[in-house]
Amino acid sequence: MSWRARNPRQAKDKQTIYNSREWRELREQKLRANPLCEVCQQKGIVTAAHQVHHIHPIEDSHSVQEMRKWAFMYENLQSLCDQCHADIHKAEGKGTKALAIERAKQRQDRWADGLISRFTASKGEGEGHESNPAGSF
């Protein structure tokens, strides 16, 4: 389940990010560095980019801190023309069942990794404490 479904504040948090000076400056930096659509360029087409797209969708985040991490990570940004940006969002929103299953699995894996990290940290593993080799799940 995405944070959007669990947290009604998610839309407000996302909008706060997009309204921030930090986002506007990063967006302009990306468009200056990559003024052409990166998808069109891969096809040998030259098209001006007007959109900055998050490759890893920020709304897939589990917290506002994770959302901010993905939102402001330069490597997570892609310069796109309006058409390619619309096409990507259409595909993400109305993708195939296989794509939906894959994205759900990725979210589940991230959640499980976080849970395991928190569990092992709370048990003090790696700090000279004994751990239960059979696990406590």
**Residue with tokens 């296989």, as numbered in its chain:** 98
DSSP H or E stretch at residue 108: helix 97-122
Would you say the pTM of this structure is higher than 0.85? Answer: no
Q: Write out the chain's pLDDT in tens, 137 residues.
A: 444 444 667 788 889 999 999 999 999 999 999 999 999 999 999 999 999 999 998 988 888 899 999 999 999 999 999 999 999 888 877 555 555 566 667 767 777 787 788 778 877 654 444 444 444 43
In a domain, 132, yes or no: no
Range of the domain at 74: 3-118
Distance CA 135, CA 110 (A): 20
**Residue 49 · residue 41 · CB < 8 Å:** no
State both tokens at 37. 């659509």
Give a yes or no: residue 69 inside a domain.
Answer: yes
Is the residue at 20 inside a domain? yes
Which CA distances in Å does 106 have to 2, 26, 99?
A: 11, 27, 11
Give how many domains the chain has, as a whole number. Answer: 1
